[in-house]
Structure 1
Amino acid sequence: MCFKCCLFLASLAFVYFAKAFGGAYMKSSITQIERRFDIPSSLIGVIDGSFEMGNLLVIAFVSYFGAKLHRPRLIGIGCVIMAAGSFLIALPHLLQGPYKYETSVSHNKDVNSTESILPCLSNHSMTEADDTPDLETKTACEKAAGSSMWIYVFLGNMLRGIGETPVMPLGVSYLDDFSREENTPFYLACIHTVGILGPMFGFMLGSYLAKIYVDIGSVDLDSITINYKDSRWVGAWWLGFIVTGTLILLSSIPFWFLPKTLPKQGQEQSESKSKSTELATVAEQENFLPEENQEQEEKEKPVTFQELAKDFIPSLKRLFRNSIFSLMILTYLVAVNGFIGMITFKPKYLEQIYGQSASKAIFLIGILNLPAVALGIITGGFVLKRFKLGVIGAARVSISASVGSFCLLAIQVFIRCENAEVAGLTVSYQGAPQVSYNPQTLLSQCNMGCSCSMKHWDPVCAYNGMTYTSPCLAGCQTSTGTGKEMVFHNCTCIGEMMTPGMNTSAVLGQCPRKSDCDRIFKIYMALSVVGSFISACGGTPGYIVLLRSIQQDLKSLALGMQTLIVRTLGGIPPPIYFGALIDRTCLKWGTKQCGGRGACRLYDADAFRMTFMGLITGLYFLANMLWGGLYIKIVKRQKKLALRNQAKENGQEGNGAVNGHANISIAKNKEDEERTGEESTI
């Protein structure tokens, strides 16, 4: 392989790593961004979908016109735009003031002693009316708090989507043009395997930064009364976008030095040959390969924008007349809906269902699920190359992987932990199980005299294992200590669950889950990792089925349209409707600094699980049904092509009744063959 070919492969793999690194970090920071800007899951879904919106703006034109232009340089330009988007996402941190989380407890730096405060009595003036400021005050407060700063994140993520557009369609088509047909699956598998390391490191960076406080270096951490396990905690999400932007910017450098086209493998000419020798070689090739050289000459001729544009609509018509391509797009569309919804909210799912911290949930996804995906992708590529599977064989591998992963996913629906015990929300103050979406259930006889606000989420954990939404609602009379070490005493509501003389104290933070939840969580993660591996095994074979089902001159357009459709309808809507449905399972909403509903603090675990996993399972079931129909179509087309090839070999086309059936099949499928240019083997 020539040096420039190796350079392109290495550069493309690095770009795949860098863009995947940035994309995974964005996914891992969703929870932190949601909390920082106090927005619901449905709005965070819109922000997450802005990446695909950026793709939608330019993908069709980049895929079609980019194939005629300097593809490596277009990829380099895209990387620069991606880097600019990452830096723009981090900008709100520099423009906003310090993060102020909701709390009913004083954590002033001036409090430097163990002086007691009275939680139950300190909120007498804090009625529901007092919590709602007038319109003028609220407007001024929102302006000061920078409540609309999430728009910068939205626009930055859209820029990332625009910049990422040329990488896949132009990179893959450029690779397929110079590589041998039998080497393409292996090269793609290697590139995707290097690329999948990006999400792994992206999630690990997200996990690390989720433990670092958002305003690190500008606030006194001793005055903070929450830790990284608290649902109000916000990590240093902005720092990761500076890191990812720098990495993507570096990945763009090699593409500025690559040529417009590279010679096909096996036809490379030595660069050390003299000019006359090269001319002689070209002349010799023209004698034996007139068609190929004619095409090469045509490519070198300058093409005007009008000439490119007039063929765009006819090319689209030719492409979508290909029934296999159209059905594959629909199948991918359904599967990607389930995958995007799952990967966007899986960290939140692990937090709410299994009681894991945001940092640990992100870390486990990065260290367990993503390596399994990488191994699955390279395994699928190896199986194709080792057994020299054709289109039908590749389709069989893909559908088997899809069915296997669906079965494991269906089992995960029934794996669960009990709801966290929160007085007034998931259990009554007397300990009886209940799930209440009515905030009035937070009031009980034991805290009626405290005039507590029901809007605050400032959880305390009692020694009886129950969580109370605030020290006031726990009926606590006094407190000792400062910061994270604060302890509340003589809590009347805790006394209702305890025998006389037992400890009625509480500490800051939510109580941990029951011990058996850790064992259940390990079972869930084991099934999730195995399912990730099996699902990924079908990725490369499915991609090869797509490549071999389209005509050579439509390859870049087909890959671009696939990206456009799948990312538009499979990338934008899922985070929005998944987030909206998840919001419906919220039991306790946070309160914004200026009043109003903020981010959700606690979900109904069972409703969340059935909504989240049920929706994913349903989408994957539909994708499997579509794969079945697609496989039948592929087999039928391959049989017709085999019949045609057999008739050609025997030289009996149109010669007698024996070959009548073959001639009818050839005539019937001539148009299909011209549209698709499909090959019978990889």
Structure 2
Amino acid sequence: MGDTEERTETHKIRCLSKLKMFLLAITCAYVAKTLSGSYMNSMLTQIERQFNIPTSVVGFINGSFEIGNLLLIVFVSYFGTKLHRPIMIGVGCVVMSLGCFLQSLPHFFMDRYEYESTVSVSGNLSSNSFLCMENGTQIFRPTEDPSECVKEVKSLMWVYVLVGNIIRGIGETPIMPLGISYIEDFAKSENSPLYIGFIETGAIIGPLIGLLLASFCANVYVDTGSVNTEDLTITPTDTRWVGAWWFGFLVCAGVNLLTAIPFFFLPKTPPKEGLTNNAEIVKNDQEEKQKEVKKEKDGITKDFLPFLKSLLCNPIYMLFILISVIQFNAFVNMISFMPKYLEQQYGKSSSDAIFLIGIYNLPPICIGYIVGGLIMKKFKITVKQAAHIGCWFSLIEYLLYYLCFLMICDNSPVAGVTTSYEGTHQDLYVENILTGCNMNCNCPTKIWDPVCGENGLSYMSACLAGCETSVGTGIDMVFQNCSCIGTSGNSSAVLGLCDKGHDCSLMLQYFLILSMTSSFIYSLSAIPGYMVLLRCIKPEEKSLGVGLHTFCTRVFAGIPAPIYFGALVDSTCLHWGTLKCGESGACRIYDSTNFRYIYLGLPAALRGSSYIPAFLILAILRKRRLPGEEASSGTVLVEAKVTGKENECKDRHQNSKVSNNDEWKTKL
């Protein structure tokens, strides 16, 4: 008898260690996949400038990840649990690594990045031909052979990034549903929310590392090592600056490849945690699992359509999908374009904007996930309670969100674009580039090469500022005798836009503090929200249900949201960059007021409409007495039947067999 107990205890320790090893491996996989995703989102502005494409095209590239994901998500969610889940996850990590590597390839196939400029990068020219020359003839750099211009404009190198992002989406597909369902199947039911909290923590650590990596890469010039950076006339705060976006993709490729290794050594079906204290239970459990596997092989697709029909007729489930689609539309837009918003609204560089997002937003979300999981475990939250927690915490955060409309900065004062040459406000969509002080300077009117005058006003170029001489080289170049800046004749200007001032920096701090607070409050509702999704459907339908939920959010939010939002952002552009032969490139400056209305207003409207179905769910749950609500101990598992009939909660051992397809984590 003692030998039997000793063998059972040894087996228990061994199987528990395997589950913990899988928990560690899947957490690392979440770190790797979210690292890649956050890095991609952070590099959208750099990709836009590198390939000189509008924001709508960049939004399409960003949404291509969802295209790859939705191609397989439903089938992987349903059929994946029948196969070796750890190996499938490992293969997915390898595919993600391949996608990241493909995204970096354009850098090695393209020529060096050339930004539009009226100033020679070789230093100070004795002729000063790029400055104001009355009745003179000037030749500026962006004049090339027309055939070369057409070739550059029609370049489709960004397609590599598009295809790589699709492949990355395909590789990410098995990680999400199969990893969570594996934990749900073989962990104690009361430990499952806590384990999910740990995995969610990994899903936050990954973006934090990704944002730090993106911040570093955005601060390094794209062609560093092959050009002399001392000759550059732009800085990271310039809208023409392109960071080393390709380097981070190589790092992501290596990290995803390393995380794939452990999954190829993990078992397909370890015994369920907590059920190994009796040898007879273990033996019966293995025999019943073998019968179930044989039954599944006999009719692997037999119940697919009935399950699908049952889900579509479940009112709580369908309302939950509607809420997710609406809110996902709002959050995809906010997350994807937040670095651009901080750049345009508060005058920060891409590197600083990405760094601030990582520092202020991600740690509170990480803490909120852990606290949410602990609350679910400690207080034994039921489905009704979880629904109320998720709804009201989300509503509180939504009301706080409106304070963002008060934290604003004015447009950068650019003569001829946002203000007149006298410094007074003008119609933002009517450029008055030429005026009396630069009319005879023979200046280009489309090239964006801004300088900041000592009067606090920015100008599109030193020539348009009426500057006649210059001293210094590279970024330290100073322009003098600028007729548009002042009447003294000694007025000077330096390269770059003027700083927005202390008041704008203060507004940025308020915005970041509010964003940090909102992130924490909203993250508290995440785990309860997942619980509602998991427990409102039958156990045997959970894997398919969550896969269908994810599929809907991809199709109706993940793919279209960045595209239409990018097009709306493009509509606020005040001045487009100019390629060779005069073709339009990436936007250089936006109307920050209209940009703010779109960036903050559209998500506010979308999220506001999502509370209508949320309150309907609370009303439906109020009229139903769900099974297990009055239980006094253990974590309660509740299934809201489509027919509305009541069910008895199954014991933990039985539930481990029927919930083999559990998966209740979706992309935030």
- Mark yes or no: TM-score above 0.5: yes
Q: 1:257 aligns with which of 253, 265, 286?
A: 265
Classify the secondary structure of the residue corresponding to 1:450. Answer: coil
**What letter matches 2:265 in structure 1?**
F
Structure 1 counterpart of 2:131: 119
CA distance in 2, matches of 1:319, 1:175: 23
Q: Give the conservation status (yes or no) of the 8 Å contact 1:321–1:675.
A: no
Unaligned runs of 5+ in 1: 271-277, 287-291, 646-667
Q: 2:293 aligns with which of 285, 300, 320?
A: 300
Q: Give the conservation status (yes or no) of the 8 Å contact 2:119–2:130.
A: no
**What letter matches 1:507 in structure 2?**
V
In the TM superposition, 1:24-423 aligns within 5 A as: 24-108=38-122, 111=123, 116-117=128-129, 119-121=131-133, 134=146, 136-142=147-153, 147-268=155-276, 281=280, 286=284, 295-301=288-294, 307-423=299-415
CA distance in 2, matches of 1:39, 1:69: 43
Classify the secondary structure of the residue corresponding to 1:671. Answer: coil
Q: Give the conservation status (yes or no) of the 8 Å contact 1:324–1:549.
A: yes
Classify the secondary structure of the residue corresponding to 1:611. Answer: helix
- Does residue 1:608 correspond to 2:592, yes or no? no
CA distance in 1, matches of 2:76, 2:161: 24
CA distance in 1, matches of 2:549, 2:203: 19
- Relative to structure 1, the CA distance from residue 390 to residue 407 in structure 2 (aligned partners, 3 Å threshold; closer, same or farther) is same
- Relative to structure 1, the CA distance from residue 580 to residue 112 in structure 2 (aligned partners, 3 Å threshold; closer, same or farther) is closer
- Relative to structure 1, the CA distance from residue 4 to residue 492 in structure 2 (aligned partners, 3 Å threshold; closer, same or farther) is same
Unaligned runs of 5+ in 2: 1-12, 632-639, 656-663
Single out whichever of 56-65 and 233-242 deviates more from structure 2.
Answer: 56-65
> Which string of whole-angstrom CA distances, capped at 9 and with x for unpartnered residues, describes residues 15-71 of structure 1?
011101111111111111111011111110000000000011111111111111111
**What letter matches 1:44 in structure 2?**
V
Deviation of the 1:332 alpha carbon: 1.0
**What letter matches 1:339 in structure 2?**
F
Deviation of the 1:670 alpha carbon: 8.2
Select the structure of larger CA radius of gyration. 1
Q: Name the TM-score, length of structure 1 as normaliser.
A: 0.88
Structure 2 counterpart of 1:663: none
Structure 2 counterpart of 1:671: 643
- Relative to structure 1, the CA distance from residue 670 to residue 203 in structure 2 (aligned partners, 3 Å threshold; closer, same or farther) is closer
Deviation of the 1:634 alpha carbon: 2.1
> Which string of whole-angstrom CA distances, capped at 9 and with x for unpartnered residues, describes residues 259-314 of structure 1?
111211122379xxxxxxx7xx36x854xxxxx6664123332855x932343222
In the TM superposition, 1:575-654 aligns within 5 A as: 575-593=562-580, 595-637=582-624, 639=625, 641=627
**What letter matches 2:133 in structure 1?**
L
Classify the secondary structure of the residue corresponding to 2:300. Answer: helix
- Relative to structure 1, the CA distance from residue 133 to residue 307 in structure 2 (aligned partners, 3 Å threshold; closer, same or farther) is farther
Classify the secondary structure of the residue corresponding to 2:485. Answer: helix
What is the CA RMSD across the aligned residues, in angstroms? Answer: 2.7
Classify the secondary structure of the residue corresponding to 1:389. Answer: coil
Deviation of the 1:594 alpha carbon: 5.1
**What letter matches 2:341 in structure 1?**
Y
Q: Give the conservation status (yes or no) of the 8 Å contact 1:123–1:472.
A: no
Deviation of the 1:503 alpha carbon: 4.1
Deviation of the 1:501 alpha carbon: 3.0
**What letter matches 1:446 in structure 2?**
C
Deviation of the 1:479 alpha carbon: 1.5
**What letter matches 1:50 in structure 2?**
S
> Which string of whole-angstrom CA distances, capped at 9 and with x for unpartnered residues, describes residues 354-380 of structure 1?
111111110000111011111111111
- Relative to structure 1, the CA distance from residue 390 to residue 674 in structure 2 (aligned partners, 3 Å threshold; closer, same or farther) is closer
Q: Give the conservation status (yes or no) of the 8 Å contact 1:176–1:184.
A: yes
Structure 1 counterpart of 2:660: none
Deviation of the 1:138 alpha carbon: 3.3
Deviation of the 1:630 alpha carbon: 1.5
**What letter matches 1:595 in structure 2?**
G
Tell me the percent identity: 45
**What letter matches 2:40 in structure 1?**
M
Classify the secondary structure of the residue corresponding to 1:252. Answer: helix
Q: Give the conservation status (yes or no) of the 8 Å contact 2:153–2:579.
A: no
> Which string of whole-angstrom CA distances, capped at 9 and with x for unpartnered residues, describes residues 497-540 of structure 1?
xxx43741111111100221111111111111101110111001
Q: Name the TM-score, length of structure 2 as normaliser.
A: 0.89
Q: Give the conservation status (yes or no) of the 8 Å contact 1:207–1:363.
A: yes
Structure 2 counterpart of 1:558: 545
Classify the secondary structure of the residue corresponding to 1:492. Answer: coil
Classify the secondary structure of the residue corresponding to 2:393. Answer: helix
- Relative to structure 1, the CA distance from residue 512 to residue 66 in structure 2 (aligned partners, 3 Å threshold; closer, same or farther) is same
Deviation of the 1:139 alpha carbon: 2.9
Single out whichever of 111-120 and 214-223 deviates more from structure 2.
Answer: 111-120
Q: Give the conservation status (yes or no) of the 8 Å contact 1:552–1:677.
A: no
CA distance in 2, matches of 1:149, 1:544: 43
Q: Give the conservation status (yes or no) of the 8 Å contact 1:348–1:358.
A: yes
Structure 2 counterpart of 1:652: none
CA distance in 1, matches of 2:496, 2:226: 24
CA distance in 1, matches of 2:646, 2:108: 57
Q: How many residues are paired up?
A: 631
Deviation of the 1:433 alpha carbon: 1.3
> Which string of whole-angstrom CA distances, capped at 9 and with x for unpartnered residues, describes residues 145-187 of structure 1?
xx31100000001111000001111111111011121111111
Deviation of the 1:202 alpha carbon: 0.5
Deviation of the 1:613 alpha carbon: 0.3
**What letter matches 1:228 in structure 2?**
P
Classify the secondary structure of the residue corresponding to 1:555. Answer: helix
